[in-house]
Structure 1
Amino acid sequence: MSAVSQPPTGRPPGPPEPPPGRELSPLRSTIADACRVLAARGLADGILGHISLRVDERRLLIRCRGPKERGLAYTTPADIRLVDLDGRPGTPQELAGGYRPPNELPLHTEVLRTRGDIAAVCHAHPPEVVAADLAGIAIRPVVGAFDIPGARLAAGGVPVHPRGVLIRDRRLAAEMVASMGDRPVVLLRGHGLTSAAASVEECVLQALSVDRIARISLRVVSAGGELCDLAERDMAELPDLGGAFNTATAWRHELARLAESSTPLRRVHGA
């Protein structure tokens, strides 16, 4: 289900391995890596945020909180557990040892129930994205070749869900999904963002692009500048560099950054 999954890199010591299920092990590793990428990039500070991946019609893998929760920066494959759309364990052992799905599990499951084109969902709390939205700054195609996938995503529109609530049940999740419509990313006012895609890698890279545009927009406005959308003729000139570059190469870069940034962490933990 994930065409560019890579072996885990540079993880700190963590809890015991998750329940058996060899076919799911690479997917657990991919989600754990992605959680750590979000944290390393500043989109998921502390213990907030989570990523999920559809496994079949009724089940998904999702980052759960365990008895020794340390936050996304310290996620290991053991934190990625299999549950069904109602939060019940996908196998009898999956939620053993004090693990539980996040309170906002419905945020993930309602997207997966509603959007057949989606396999992965990530929810994060990027401070600059929240700040830009509260300042009335929309995510617009203000950049071009600087970030081509981001420019195209912004040009298609990034809607805003106006409620800054914890999306803890299907009613609240359905409201968010309605705000999201058919777009890949929705901002959650005073809260964060939800990104959805066909793979874990894509949904995280989308979130990174939105965060990048929000940061640039805040800098421009803070410097007294005025945000202007990319000219249509320039947008038309932007090539589609393809998934091999936009996703696979970009994801290898994120994993390489992650491995390098994890070196001091491994020393602290005595690895």
Structure 2
Amino acid sequence: MKRLGIHSFVWTGGQTQEGLEMALEKSAQHGYRCIEFAYLRPELFDLDRLARKSQELDVQIGVTMGLPLDKDISSTDPDAVAAGKAMLADAVRAVRDVGGDKLGGILYSAHTKYNRQPTAEGWKNSVHAIAETAQIAEAAGVDLVLELVNRFETNLLNTTAQGLKFIEETGSDHVRLHLDTFHMQMEEANLAAAIRLAGDKIGYFHIGESNRGYLGDGTIDWDPVFDALVEIGYARDVVFESFSTAIVDEGLSLACAIWRDTWTENDPLAAHAKQFIELKWAEAERRRATNTRA
């Protein structure tokens, strides 16, 4: 693990400059070394100021997003695909300008529950658009990571196997996978096996409980997850993600189906998550060392 981070939505809905700066400060206070922001529109935020704040606090910024339907690059509508590519290019530039190092999330389709199967033409459109975006991202020094999410938030990439096929078809070594335990526990037959299958193609990893709340309070069997991450030598960022309507706005609550809150106070949640992840990682390293010696 390179850095342990936290999603800014634990701290703020992200609509204001002050909220994002507060999220950076709170993350640093809790000992997190990276933070995840949602899409940063340059006309709404002072990216230079956020970059300076990030450097002062030694908290690295990453950005994730999902595409709206009118900018869906997996569409068969050329106008929607073109608009989506433009949005992705703008997002890459915003990540660069804020001093960020990665752009992730649902970059390959709209973030929505589809009412249709994906099409072969839509898949190809998405592959080509992501390949183009990867070139822009590589030139900007920004990692491009595609988040695999559950069936209710996209119809295109739900599993590691699908993600590996997709990034292979882009022909780009700059595109990696963004795995998330919350989504994996719905879509993968075996979380640890999926992590091992992805191997060095994992560029970013989300830790989230099955109920979006406190780690350990859901149904995920965490030891095999951490064992697999240690086994493959995962050395990139691990970020805790959890949502509550006490913090995030109605739009995100609807998109992610946050109908009930598993927490309302963010400080104890953040403290517990950091302790939980560090403990589980250390235990996995000890098991790995013991098994290696044996």
Same fold (TM > 0.5): no
